[in-house]
C-alpha cells in the first residue's frame, strides 16, 4: 500500500516551468501577418467600406434638350436646354455620414473578431504542441528506463534467475514505449503542419516553446471589468445599438424634401430666355412608416444588446468556474508530486530485487498514467485560459 501511494505521484514539472511567452507571441504575430483568411477578410472589409462611402454620393446631374422644328408655326423653331442637379436635404448627408462612420467602425470590429478567432485557433494549436513536447520529453526518459529494465531482465534471464516470459514482457514494454514515442512524433508533426497552414504555408520556428508558469487568475469581477473595457465582441454589441440609432436619425432626416436646382435656356424666333431652375419634392409617401420601423429596430437592438451581454457573461462565468475547478485539482496534484521522487524509488526497488518485474510494470504504468493525467489537466487549463483571454489576442 505504501509503495502504491508513493508510485502515484512524481515531481517532474520543471520542463513546463520555463517562461517562453514571448516566443508564443512572436509566432502569433507572424500568423496574424501571413494568414490568408485574414488577408482575404481585410480586402473584403476595404471593399465594404468603399461601398458604404458611395452611399452618400450625390445623384447624377440631368441634362435635357428640346428642338421642335416640325408643326405649323410662323415664329421659328423652338429649342430648349436644361441642366439640373437633384440632391437630398443637406442635413440628410450629415446624418448619413454619421451612419456610414458607425457602420465602418462595425466592420473594423468584425475584422478584430475574425483576427481573434484565427489567433485563438492558432494559440490552441500551440498549447497542444507544447503539451506534446512536454509529453515527448517524458517518453524519451521512459524509453531509456524501459531499455535499462529490459537489459537487466536479459541478464537475469541469462543467469536463469527469471523465466523467458518476464524477459519477453520487458521487451514488449520497451517496444511499446518506442511506439508511443513515434506516435507522439507524428502528432507533433501534424500540429506543426496545422500551424504552418495558419501561417499562410510559411515555416515557423518551434524550437523554444513552453507554458507561462502563471496559472492563477484574478477574481471573476475584476476579469469581467477588464473584458468589458477591451473585448471587441462587447464593443460590437454596443456598436450595433449605435448603428440602429444612427439609422433611426437618418430616417427622420429623409422625411425632409429633396431639392433640385438647375439652368434653363429657351429660344424661339430669334429670341431666347435663360435663367435658373428650382424645384422641391413633396415627401408624402416615399418615407411612410420608415421612421417608425427604424425606431422599433433601435428599441429592439437595445433589448438584444442586453440579452447578448448577459449570455456572454454567463459563458465567461462558466469557463472561469471550470478553470478554477481544474486548477484546484491540478494544484493539489503538484503539491504532492513535488514532494516525492517516485520514479527513482520504484526503479531502485526493482534493481535491488525488492519487487519483481510484474509488480514494477504494473506500478510504473499506474504512476505514468497519473503523470499523463496531470499533463492533460495542465493542457486543459491553458486551453481555458486562452478562451478567457481571447479578447487580448
92-108 pLDDT, tens digit per residue, is 888 888 888 898 999 99
What per-residue confidence (pLDDT) applies to 109?
A: 92
31-53 burial, b at 16+ Cβ within 10 Å, e below that, comes to: bbebbeebeebeeebeeeeeebe
Q: What CATH number belongs to 2-392?
A: 1.20.1600.10
What per-residue confidence (pLDDT) applies to 356?
A: 64
pTM: 0.80
Q: How far apart are CA 21 and CA 209, in angstroms?
A: 8
Q: How far apart are CA 326 and CA 315, in angstroms?
A: 17
Q: How far apart are CA 118 and CA 120, in angstroms?
A: 6
pLDDT band at 311 (very low <50, low <70, confident <90, very high): very high
Is the pLDDT at 259 greater than 70? The verdict is yes
What per-residue confidence (pLDDT) applies to 342?
A: 64
Contact 16, 374 (CB under 8 A): no
pLDDT digits (tens, 9 = 90+) for 106-138: 999 999 999 999 999 999 999 998 888 888 888
Q: How far apart are CA 124 and CA 37, in angstroms?
A: 17
Between 4 and 32, the higher pLDDT residue: 32
H or E element at residue 62: strand 62-68
**Range among 9-13, 65-69, 220-224, 331-335 rated most confident:** 220-224
What per-residue confidence (pLDDT) applies to 16?
A: 37
Is the pLDDT at 18 greater than 80? The verdict is no
Q: Give percent of the chain with pLDDT exceeding 90.
A: 13
Query: In whole angstroms, how far apart are CA 56 and each of 95, 192, 253, 281?
Result: 10, 48, 14, 19
Least confident of 157-161, 327-331, 366-370: 157-161
pLDDT band at 152 (very low <50, low <70, confident <90, very high): confident
What per-residue confidence (pLDDT) applies to 341?
A: 58
Check residue 23 and give left, alpha or beta (phi > 0: left; psi -120 to 50: alpha): alpha
All three cell numbers of 226: 477588464
Check residue 270 and give left, alpha or beta (phi > 0: left; psi -120 to 50: alpha): left
pLDDT band at 384 (very low <50, low <70, confident <90, very high): very high
Phi, psi (rounded to 5 degrees) for 246: -65, -35
- What average pLDDT does range 80-85 have in this prediction? 86
Amino acid at each position: 500500500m505504501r509503495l502504491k501511494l508513493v508510485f502515484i505521484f512524481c515531481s517532474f514539472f520543471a520542463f513546463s516551468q520555463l517562461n517562453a511567452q514571448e516566443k508564443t507571441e512572436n509566432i502569433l504575430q507572424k500568423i496574424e501577418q501571413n494568414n490568408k483568411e485574414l488577408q482575404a477578410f481585410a480586402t473584403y472589409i476595404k471593399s465594404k467600406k468603399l461601398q458604404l462611402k458611395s452611399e452618400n454620393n450625390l445623384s447624377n446631374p440631368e441634362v435635357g434638350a428640346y428642338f421642335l422644328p416640325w408643326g405649323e408655326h410662323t415664329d421659328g423653331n423652338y429649342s430648349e436646354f436644361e441642366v439640373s442637379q437633384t440632391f437630398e436635404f443637406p442635413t440628410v448627408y450629415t446624418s448619413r455620414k454619421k451612419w456610414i462612420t458607425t457602420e465602418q467602425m462595425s466592420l473594423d470590429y468584425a475584422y478584430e473578431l475574425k483576427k481573434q478567432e484565427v489567433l485563438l485557433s492558432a494559440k490552441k494549436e500551440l498549447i497542444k504542441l507544447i503539451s506534446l513536447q512536454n509529453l515527448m520529453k517524458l517518453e524519451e526518459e521512459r524509453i531509456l528506463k524501459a531499455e535499462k529494465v529490459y537489459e537487466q531482465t536479459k541478464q537475469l534471464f541469462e543467469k536463469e534467475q527469471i523465466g523467458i516470459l518476464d524477459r519477453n514482457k520487458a521487451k514488449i514494454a520497451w517496444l511499446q514505449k518506442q511506439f508511443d514515442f513515434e506516435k507522439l512524433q507524428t502528432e507533433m508533426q501534424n500540429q506543426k503542419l496545422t500551424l504552418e497552414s495558419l501561417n499562410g504555408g510559411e515555416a515557423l520556428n518551434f524550437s523554444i516553446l513552453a507554458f507561462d508558469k502563471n496559472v492563477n487568475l484574478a477574481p471573476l469581477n475584476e476579469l469581467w471589468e477588464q473584458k468589458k473595457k477591451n473585448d471587441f465582441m462587447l464593443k460590437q454589441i454596443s456598436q450595433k445599438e449605435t448603428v440602429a440609432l444612427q439609422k433611426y436619425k437618418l430616417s427622420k432626416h429623409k422625411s425632409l424634401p429633396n431639392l433640385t436646382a438647375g439652368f434653363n435656356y429657351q429660344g424661339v424666333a430669334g429670341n431666347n430666355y435663360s435663367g435658373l431652375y428650382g424645384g422641391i419634392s413633396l415627401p408624402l409617401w416615399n418615407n411612410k412608416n420608415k421612421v417608425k420601423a427604424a425606431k422599433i429596430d433601435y428599441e429592439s437592438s437595445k433589448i438584444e444588446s442586453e440579452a447578448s451581454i448577459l449570455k456572454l457573461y454567463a459563458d465567461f462565468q462558466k469557463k472561469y468556474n471550470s478553470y478554477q475547478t481544474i486548477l484546484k485539482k491540478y494544484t493539489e496534484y503538484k503539491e504532492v508530486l513535488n514532494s516525492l521522487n517516485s520514479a527513482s524509488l520504484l526503479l531502485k526497488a526493482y534493481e535491488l530485487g525488492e519487487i519483481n518485474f510484474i509488480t514494477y510494470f504494473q506500478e510504473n504504468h499506474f504512476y505514468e498514467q497519473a503523470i499523463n493525467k496531470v499533463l492533460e489537466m495542465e493542457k486543459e487549463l491553458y486551453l481555458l485560459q486562452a478562451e478567457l483571454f481571447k479578447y487580448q489576442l
